[in-house]
Amino acid sequence: MKRQIWIATLLYTISMMVLFGLLYMFLNSQISFILIIFLLLVLSLGFGYILSSYILSQKFRIDESLLHLTKEILHELNIPISTIQANSTLLKRALKDDEKALVRLGRIDDASKRLERLYMELIYSIKKEIHSVEKEQVDVEMLIKERCDILKLQKRNEFILDIEPFDICVDRIGFEKMLDNILINAMKYSDKNSPITIKLDDNIISIKDSGVGMDEVELITIYERYYQADYHVSGEGIGLALVKAYCDDEKIRIDISSQKGVGTVVRLDLLNVKMKS
């Protein structure tokens, strides 16, 4: 890419030299000032178009190649995921009397479902880069129960729900990813025997844990990419950065309060995405 930048810079420099040379010639020949300006404008537009076309064409070619490669990889990924799930189902039937084997197959099945989820999220991220994702009506109660049921497979924290039907209009997959990040953080930084409470009241979802918590200094930097409250806990430290980005896009106000050694509460104000009655 550096080579293209240097070539573009050289072309621009030459074009400017030519323009100033023509201007000097026109001034010496006492041609109308308006005509000079008009000619310079036409030449500038011509050089600008050529320059932009050259630079952008390189970028478009690279983007198209990457998109084509990504589509091929995604297609190839879908085949082994489907194969694992199909054979897992067949083995469960064949080994229905072998409890140990069924437990192992259950782990394989859970892992394949998580892999499938990652696959769907990758497709979603690529589509979102290409064009805007359509929003749809979502029942928050059903979605939260669905995500909690999936996370319960990890056999960690209990989820205490105090929610009711509540319709919103959002990018569904993005909302699921955002919610998953918050719930996984609550689990990650809590003792596995401590419950996580999810409550919906007056357009606001509150997710409360009894984990390690954060002090005021940590609260200032929690949305920074790669920040982690506890470096002894595995993870990339980008979860809350993605949560904040999604909330900003959807106009969902997010508020996090925490106390060291007591726990954390994440509040999501859904007023701006609430379905109008």
Contact of 227 with 235, CB cutoff 8 Å? no
- What are residue 94's phi and psi, to 5 degrees? -75, -30
Residue 2 above 60 pLDDT? no
The pTM is what?
A: 0.60
The pLDDT value given to residue 59: 67
31-67 pLDDT, tens digit each: 555 565 666 666 666 666 666 666 666 666 766 776 6
- What are residue 263's phi and psi, to 5 degrees? 140, -175
219-244 pLDDT, tens digit each: 887 876 544 555 444 443 456 888 88
User: In this predicted model, which residue has the larger pLDDT, 119 or 10?
Assistant: 119
Q: Strands of the chain (E only): list them.
A: 136-139, 159-162, 167-170, 196-201, 204-208, 253-259, 263-269
CA distance 89 to 163: 34
CA distance 32 to 169: 61
How many C-beta atoms lie closer than 10 Å to residue 56's C-beta?
Answer: 10
Residue 159 above 90 pLDDT? yes
> Which of 26-30, 112-116, 190-194 is the least confident region?
26-30
Contact of 208 with 197, CB cutoff 8 Å? yes
